[in-house]
């Protein structure tokens, strides 16, 4: 018997990158000392009322537009009731019956854009406080209470765990790209609950929800685990149960959190404190304009326009600043060169000096200048690498790099002697080469560089080396 197909839907919570909470002017940010970012509203004090902060709406609209969704001209807020210590009012303000946007899809990078996951709806809602469970008691941190979230709900169209992971990676890239969220799953600014069921007799509609998924890898692993569990139940003819389960990273398995609530248990009520949210067509237009080119389009364009590999294009379009940086450099020195330098050397130095691409000591203009100067004099990679490192450490500048290269140039006879010696020492490789294994050329070049250091023209060296081998 074939195992029945999986039906997976995701509920993704994206914390919006605003200064204030969704319904009050209290600030929110990750990592502040506990209970320092609070105000009467987010503590649910008597007499407080929600005031919708427009910046959150703006960012939510931008995401909806980027997903190609139909934005509602009039959405509403509802109260979702349940008693839990992290919910100060014991209801959450969300948009249940009239969400901000419906429809749309997220294109995935696989299959060059032909694959997409349909989105059901996107709505605004407030975040809950954080529960810090101790041995004997639970402490509460209200810094996060009331932080602005959008929940993006997919159609149940995802067919396996890997595709779910793909979706989340693409979603993370998108929210970062258009500037609506930090998209950090480990900090909770991107969260995911997964709903999974089997498309089989008796299993349809019996959905298991998995919570507490703190990384994309965990989502994939948890869904694989649940898929196996459901399929085992199916094989053994057991009835599945609709449950909410949690992922335990330590045991790498899921456990029951609770039997699933039905819809009426939340006792939804239109929130009488908030008037309907009206969005003018002009505002939708502004949201669309604010998106610009989407990462996937940019990724394809980079491959076309600059001739770089898909892998590099994907890496370079993870965030907008880096993509813009790449484009600036690539226009001057060509795509492959720009890509290889940015993805290896630049990233390494940024990481080493704890900088981001936007505050990099080496601007795109600098790097372009450095690389084109190096190209003119055919400076070897190691020389450029050393210069870049010195610039990062403030010991040198881009200007005068060409002269620096020429100063270090070794005389031709010295290079040819070294080359001869290396070929003699590696006679076996020379034989390999002559039998058609041209890949050994790079290895031989590497050996020559090791001995010669910076002062050699790489193109010249390769040419001489080929002459020797073929001659």
Partner 1 sequence: MSELNSISLSELCRLRDEGVVRDEEILDSFESRYRQHEPRLHAFVHRYRSGSAEGGILRSIPYATKANLAVRGQPQDCASRLLRGYRAPYDATVTRRLREAGAVVVGSTNMDEFGMGSTTEYSCYGPTRHPLDPERSPGGSSGGAAAAVATGMVAFALGTDTGGSVRQPAAHCGVFGLRPTWGRISRWGLTAFASSMDQVGILTRRAEDLPVVLGLLTGRDAFDATTHQVPTREVGRGDLRGLRVAFDPAGLGFAEAEVAVAFEGFVADLRSAGAEVRELSLPASTAALECYLLLSSVEAASNLARFDGTVYGRRRGGDHYEEMVRRTRSAGFGEEVKRRILRGTLVLAAGESGAELGRARRLRARIRREQIDALRGHDALLMPTTPAGPPRIGAPRGESKQTTDPDRFTAPASLAGLPALAAPAGRARNGLPWSVQWVGAPDADETLIAIAMACEAEGLGR
Choose, by CB under 8 A, the member of 46, 411, 436, 439 that binds partner 1.
46
By the rule CB under 8 A, 269 interacts with partner 1: yes
By the rule CB under 8 A, 268 interacts with partner 1: yes
Choose, by CB under 8 A, the member of 2, 74, 83, 428 that binds partner 1.
83
Phi, psi torsion values for 362, nearest 5 degrees: -105, 110
CA neighbor of 306 nearest in space, from 293, 282, 323, 285: 323
For residue 125, the minimal CB distance to partner 1 (Å) is 16
* Alpha helices (runs of H) in 197-293, residue ranges in sequence order: 216-235, 281-291
By the rule CB under 8 A, 43 interacts with partner 1: yes
By the rule CB under 8 A, 90 interacts with partner 1: yes
Q: Which is closer to partner 1, CB of 91 or CB of 177?
A: 91
First to last CA, the chain: 64
Choose, by CB under 8 A, the member of 72, 91, 141, 221 that binds partner 1.
91
The stretch near partner 1 (CB under 8 A) out of 84-92, 235-243, 360-368, 443-451 is: 84-92
Q: Which region holds residue 338: left if phi is over 0, alpha if psi is between -120 and 50, else beta?
A: alpha
Q: Which is closer to partner 1, CB of 83 or CB of 407?
A: 83
For residue 274, the minimal CB distance to partner 1 (Å) is 6
The stretch near partner 1 (CB under 8 A) out of 63-71, 203-211, 247-255, 271-279 is: 271-279
- Residues in contact with partner 1, shown as a per-residue x/- string from 113 to 152 under the rule CB under 8 A: -------------------------x-x------------
Q: Which is closer to partner 1, CB of 241 or CB of 267?
A: 267
Strand partners, 93: 79
Distances in Å between the alpha carbon of 107 and those of 146, 262, 291, 308?
30, 31, 15, 21
Please tell me the count of residues contacting partner 1 according to CB under 8 A. 33
For residue 13, the minimal CB distance to partner 1 (Å) is 22
Q: Which is closer to partner 1, CB of 83 or CB of 470?
A: 83
Q: Which residues contact 11 (CB under 8 A, 6 or more apart)?
A: 151, 152, 153, 154, 192, 193, 194, 195
Count Cα neighbours of 138 within 13 Å in the Cβ-side half-sphere. 9
For residue 268, the minimal CB distance to partner 1 (Å) is 7
Choose, by CB under 8 A, the member of 31, 33, 47, 439 that binds partner 1.
47
CA 328, 333, 334, 338 torsion-angle sign: negative
By the rule CB under 8 A, 272 interacts with partner 1: yes
Report the interhelical angle of 458-470 vs 440-452 (nearest 10°): 130
For residue 30, the minimal CB distance to partner 1 (Å) is 22
Choose, by CB under 8 A, the member of 264, 282, 427, 428 that binds partner 1.
264
Pairing of strands 243-248, 208-213: parallel
Token pair 């940015």 is found at 342
CA 10, 95, 282, 148 torsion-angle sign: negative
Choose, by CB under 8 A, the member of 27, 51, 206, 288 that binds partner 1.
51
Token pair 């720009």 is found at 338
DSSP string for residues in 95-161: -SSS-SEE--EEE-TGGGGT-EEEEEEEEEEEPPPEEEE-SS-EEEETTSTT-EEEEEEE-S-B-SH
- Residues in contact with partner 1, shown as a per-residue x/- string from 196 to 225 under the rule CB under 8 A: ------------------------------
DSSP string for residues in 429-443: HHHHHHTT-TTHHHH
Choose, by CB under 8 A, the member of 128, 164, 216, 274 that binds partner 1.
274
Q: Which residues contact partner 1 (rule: CB under 8 A)?
A: 40, 43-52, 79, 81, 83-85, 88-91, 97, 138, 140, 263-265, 267-269, 272-275
């Amino acid at each position: 018997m074939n195992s029945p197909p999986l039906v997976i839907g995701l509920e993704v919570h994206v914390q919006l990158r605003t200064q204030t909470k969704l319904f009050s002017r209290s600030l929110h940010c990750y990592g502040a000392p506990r209970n320092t970012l609070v105000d009467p509203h987010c503590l649910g004090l008597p007499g407080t009322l929600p005031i919708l902060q427009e910046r959150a709406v703006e960012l939510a609209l931008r995401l909806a537009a980027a997903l190609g969704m139909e934005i509602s001209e009039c959405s509403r807020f509802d109260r979702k009731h349940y008693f839990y210590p992290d919910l100060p009012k014991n209801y959450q303000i969300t948009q249940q019956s009239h969400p901000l946007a419906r429809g749309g899809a997220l294109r995935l990078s696989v299959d060059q854009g032909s694959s997409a996951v349909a989105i059901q709806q996107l709505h605004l809602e407030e975040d809950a406080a954080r529960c810090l469970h101790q041995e004997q008691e639970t402490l509460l941190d209200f810094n996060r209470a009331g932080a602005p979230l959008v929940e993006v709900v997919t159609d149940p169209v995802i067919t396996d765990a890997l595709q779910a992971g793909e979706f989340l990676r693409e979603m993370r890239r998108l929210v970062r790209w258009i500037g609506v969220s930090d998209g950090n799953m480990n900090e909770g600014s991107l969260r995911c609950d997964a709903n999974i069921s089997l498309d089989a007799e008796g299993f349809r509609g019996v959905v298991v929800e998995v919570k507490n998924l703190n990384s994309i890898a965990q989502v994939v692993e948890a869904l694989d685990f649940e898929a196996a569990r459901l399929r085992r139940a199916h094989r053994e003819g057991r009835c599945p149960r609709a449950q909410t389960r949690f992922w335990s990273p330590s045991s790498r398995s899921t456990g029951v959190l609770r039997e699933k609530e039905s819809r009426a248990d939340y006792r939804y009520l239109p929130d009488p404190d908030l008037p309907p949210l009206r969005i003018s067509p002009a505002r939708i237009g502004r949201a669309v304009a604010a998106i610009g080119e989407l990462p996937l389009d940019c990724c394809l364009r980079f491959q076309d326009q600059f001739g770089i590999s898909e892998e590099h294009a994907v890496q370079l379009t993870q965030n907008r600043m880096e993509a813009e940086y790449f484009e600036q450099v690539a226009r001057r020195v060509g795509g492959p060169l720009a890509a290889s330098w940015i993805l290896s050397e630049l990233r390494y130095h940024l990481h080493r000096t704890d900088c981001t691409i936007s505050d990099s000591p080496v601007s795109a203009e600098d790097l372009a200048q450095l690389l084109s100067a190096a190209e003119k004099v055919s400076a070897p990679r190691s020389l450029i690498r050393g210069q870049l490192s010195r610039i990062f450490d403030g010991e040198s500048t881009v200007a005068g790099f060409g002269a620096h290269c020429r100063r270090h140039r070794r005389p031709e006879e010295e290079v040819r002697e070294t080359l001869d010696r290396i070929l003699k020492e590696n006679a076996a490789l020379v034989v390999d080469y002559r039998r058609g294994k041209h890949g050994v050329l790079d290895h031989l070049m590497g050996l020559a560089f090791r001995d010669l250091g910076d002062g050699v023209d790489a193109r010249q060296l390769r040419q001489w080396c080929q002459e020797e081998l073929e001659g």
